[in-house]
Structure 1
Amino acid sequence: MRIFFTLLLIGCFALIRSYAQTAPVAIPADTAAPVTATNNLLADLVDSTEQQPLLPHKMIFTQRVFWGPKGLLRVTDLAPLTAEGRAKELKIRRTMLVGHQVMGFVTLAGFVAQGIVGAKLYNATGDQYSRLLNVHSALATGVNVTYTTTALLSLTAPPKMLDERRGLSSIKLHKYLAMVHIAGMIATNVLAGSLQQHPELKPYHRAAAYTTFGAFALSIIAIKI
């Protein structure tokens, strides 16, 4: 029995001694891997940041004029093309696009009011016609101002960082509809200026106005989807 306990104690002592000798070696080996992996990950992030372009390859004409590599704000050194500068520009972009949405709803309300007055104007006569014509003209001026402001807030906003993804998206649908209502807005104003000399153009003026309103309303709905 004594021999058994003696051998048991010797075995335990040998096991503890062997663990004490190997444990310090095992711990650094386990912790070294995460540190190395972390360093590699940080290096990859630094490399990807350095390779990330500051401007998208595709920009609309108005954005390129102001914010392109050789745009007016770059050559005049008002907005140097740097990473810090682009971070500030993205904040400006967000503010301008929020303003774009707000003015879009204001313009939509103006379109509705102008459409209601315009519908009454077609059947009005005498003094009522004169009053409604003045109201319609005033609404037209207001809509033109808010519409132009809405468009400029989008067209002159700083560009985003990345190019748009391929395929149809709500943003692209919004832009396609914008082309329609811009053309309709121009046609509506041109025809409105010719109605006094050519009253037979009234149906075309109404069609252009309704098309403009429809495309504008759909563009707002598309961006909200």
Structure 2
Amino acid sequence: MSMLWLNRCVSGIVLFCAFSCADVHAQFKRNLTTQIFAPSSSFQMPSTWAEVLPSSDSYLHDSTRAETPMRALKLLPDHLTIFESVLWGSTGVFRGFSPLTPEARRRELDFRRTMLSTHQVLGFATLALMTASVVFGQILLNDYEALRFEEALRNRQTHRTLSIITFGTYMSTAAMSTFAPPPLIRRDEWNTVSTHKLLAIFHFSGMVAQPILAIMASNSRDLEQIRTLRRAHQIVGYFTLAVLAAAMLTLTF
């Protein structure tokens, strides 16, 4: 049963990384194409909603509405990620209760802003929790090495509790970004958000690998294998913490 669960987790990691790498690679190719074939005039972001999404009244009462048909209004960016296409595309899962209309897109973009703000707040909370978990994990390893079994038992429970809370907060943070509606306009260029998404592939893999290594170490009866798995758990923990911190810094500065 444990091996079946392990195989499913590994398959999930590979599938997620494949989708994420495909999105990052596609964005890089679009950026390269844009740099080669981009027009000379610079693109100006709209300053108000009225410039992008005319109100429904303008379509009902404006005498010039024939010159700007509804089908000419772009409500989605030219390029959607795989998750955005499945969830928020023109035939996406969420279109059953959120039709692709200007009014619905206004609500979606407000919802997106709220979700991404929550994503950032939860990201810093996850970083703090992960730091505490790594600290207690290091203390626990020191107790094992010094044969302080009573202290190790107490610190193990603390480390385990922090790890569970960190994992739950991390997945909630990821959900805020993954399920957020797409933006109205997406520029085909590499920026800090692109770097943030690239780093997410690595710290997500580390977050999934951590509990797997911990379970394998707990179930093992080979002392040498236990030490190897604990060391791997330690290295992956520090690596994941460093990458998550870097991902947060890319959006902060």
TM-score range (shorter-chain normalised) is 0.7 to 0.9
Query: In the TM superposition, what are the counterparts of 1:141-220 in structure 2 within 5 Å?
Result: 141-166=164-189, 168-196=190-218, 197=220, 198-199=225-226, 200-220=228-248
Displacement, 1:165?
Answer: 2.6
Identity %: 33
| 2:75 corresponds to 1:54 | yes
Tell me, in whole angstroms, the C-alpha distance in 2 between the residues paired with 1:177 and 1:49: 39
Runs of 4+ in 1 over 6 A off after TM superposition: none
Query: Which consecutive residues of structure 1, in runs of 5 or more, have no partner in the other structure?
Result: 1-42
Cα deviation for residue 147 of structure 1 reads 0.1
Q: What code does the residue aligned with 2:211 have?
A: N
The offset of 1:87, in angstroms, is 0.7
For residues 15-54 of structure 1, the C-alpha deviation after alignment (integer angstroms, 9 at most, x for no partner) is: xxxxxxxxxxxxxxxxxxxxxxxxxxxx8xx759963411
Q: How does 1:68-79 map to 2 (within 5 A)?
A: 68-74=89-95, 76=96, 78-79=97-98
Alignment-mate amino acid for residue 62 of structure 1: F
8 A Cα contact 1:60 1:155, kept in partner = no
Per-residue deviation, 1:123: 1.4
CA deviation vs aligned residue, 1:117-140 (integer Å, no higher than 9, x gap):
011000112111111010011001
Provide the residue aligned with 1:17 in structure 2.
Answer: none
| Partner Cα distance (1:178, 1:49) in 2 | 37
Partner of 2:114: 95
Q: Do 1:103 and 1:146's aligned partners in 2 also have CA atoms closer than 8 Å?
A: yes
Q: Secondary structure in 2 aligned to 1:194?
A: helix
Q: 1:60 to 1:132 in 2, by over 3 A?
A: same
The structure with the larger Rg is 1
- The 1-side partners of 2:213 and 2:238 are apart by 13
TM-score by length of 1: 0.75
Work out whether residues 111 and 143 of structure 1, in 8 Å CA contact, stay in contact via their aligned partners in 2: yes
Tell me the TM-score normalized by structure 2. Answer: 0.67
Please report how far the alpha carbon of residue 65 of structure 1 lies from its aligned counterpart in structure 2 after TM superposition: 2.1
Give the deviation of 1:61 after TM superposition: 2.5
Q: Deviations over 1:142-170 (max 9, x none)?
A: 0010000000000000000112332x211
In 1: Cα distance, 2:199 partner to 2:69 partner: 36
Q: CA RMSD in A?
A: 2.1
